[in-house]
Amino acid sequence: MKSIELFIERLILGSRWILVVFYLGLAAALALYAVSFVFKLAKIFMVALTLNENQMILAMLGLIDAALVASLLLMVMISSYENFVSRFDEGKTDLTWLGKLDSGSLKVKVASAIVAISSIHLLQIFLNASQYTEPQIMWLTIMHMAFVVSAVALGYLDRISAKK
């Protein structure tokens, strides 16, 4: 009976390696997103001198948004791998935050990144307000505030759990 229990425990623990497929998929998505970013940047270079200030700000906000999304992907990949699959070799990496992101603090960082991404989208909408109706802007603002409240609540809960 003990050998069956040991086998099941090893099987369940070993199944964490299945997550690697998801992290490799995210890495592939990040590479595709990088290609997309380069094309977006090339388009901006080609029309940079013809854009007015508002259009240039919108283009730069799009690039910032892409960088935040890419950073979010990377943070989730690395910290999730370290938390759920295997630790990275200590001496072979210079990422000082490795090992410091548990699942609680990862949630807070992801929520914060989502708020930052949402803020950029909302700023883009405000800069193009003429293309949106007032109810659309109102609902987009309400959704953004829901992200903000969620991030604050997650941060507060993480802080409470850290004290215990």
DSSP string, 15-34: GGGGHHHHHHHHHHHHHHHH
All residue ranges of the chain with pLDDT < 70 are 90-104, 164
Q: What is the pTM of this model?
A: 0.74
Give Cα separations from 10 to 1, 6, 15, 87, 106 (angstroms).
14, 6, 8, 18, 27
What pLDDT is recorded for position 55? 86
What does DSSP assign to residue 88? P
Q: Which two tokens stand for residue 104?
A: 């609680």
Residue pair 80/23 in contact (Cβ under 8 Å)? The answer is yes
Which of 42, 36, 37 is closest to 63 using CA atoms?
37
Residue pair 88/80 in contact (Cβ under 8 Å)? The answer is no
What pLDDT is recorded for position 96? 63
What pLDDT is recorded for position 64? 92
Q: Which two tokens stand for residue 149?
A: 């409240």
Extract the runs of DSSP E, i.e. beta strands, from the chain: none
**Amino acid (one-letter) located at 21:** V
